[in-house]
Amino acid sequence: MKREKKKSVAIFGGSFDPPHLGHLEIMKKALEKLDIDKLIVVPAFISPFKKGHRAPPKLRLKWLGKIAAFDPRIEISDFEIKKEGPSYSIDTVNHFARFFDTIYFIIGADNLKDLHKWHRFDELNEKVRWVVATRNDEPIPEGFIRLDIDMPISSTALREKIDPAWIPEAIREEVTEFYKQKVKN
């Protein structure tokens, strides 16, 4: 029996090192604005554009599971983590395209300037509908779906100076303690 495809999915990938309130807001707005059956959050094992992560992949996966528990339409996927290598969006999209007809792909506006450098970008561009979360007043070109996220925060800034106010309550204590220990070592 052939498995029936669901109508649509949004994929939200990233390092999530650490997950913060901006990520949580993107999840909420995507569920609110996009006509999707499911939102799949995919933490990268390692981004091809980064040298590494402070928090190990399985810990970031666990944190995401805790903050996404508010909606059963959100799935936290270990697809990229299980591969244990650079995470390419096209591979993730091809994996989930087997199950969904329409794929929305969520990125932050800060990714737009280098989007053309992504691995097999032309193929990826043919397969997804781009959704861009606003960030730092970066302009969003026509043809992209816009998610208005008015939160001046980034994981990079949080790693440099952990501010518990920007960490979702469900993981605040654990994340704050983890990064404080990393600074000490």
Q: Domain containing 39 — which CATH number?
A: 3.40.50.620
Q: How many CA atoms within 13 Å lie on the side-chain side of 175?
A: 28
Residue 1 resides in a domain: no
Q: Decide if pLDDT at 162 tops 60.
A: yes
DSSP state of 54: S
**Any domain includes 100:** yes
pLDDT-based confidence at residue 154 (cuts at 50, 70, 90): confident
116-129 pLDDT, tens digit per residue, is 999 999 999 999 99
Kindly report, residue by residue over 75-100, the tens digit of the pLDDT.
999 999 999 888 899 999 999 999 99
Q: Which residue has the tokens 């903050």?
A: 67
- Domain assignment of residue 119, yes or no: yes
Residue 124 belongs to some domain of the structure: yes
Does residue 5 have a pLDDT over 80? no
pLDDT for 87: 85
Q: How confident is the model at residue 152 (pLDDT cuts 50, 70, 90)?
A: confident
DSSP annotation string for 60-116: HHHHHHHHTTT-TTEEE--HHHHHTSB--HHHHHHHHHTTEEEEEEEEEGGGGGGGG
Copy the structure tokens of residue 128. 């997804």
Q: Which two tokens stand for residue 176?
A: 């704050």
Task: Tell me: pLDDT of 171 over 80.
Answer: yes
Residue 53 buriedness (CB in 10 A; 0-12 / 13-18 / 19+): buried
59 within a domain of the structure (yes/no): yes
- Domain of residue 77 covers 6-184
The structure's pTM equals: 0.92
**How many structural domains does the chain have?**
1
Span 59-70, pLDDT tens digits: 999 999 999 999
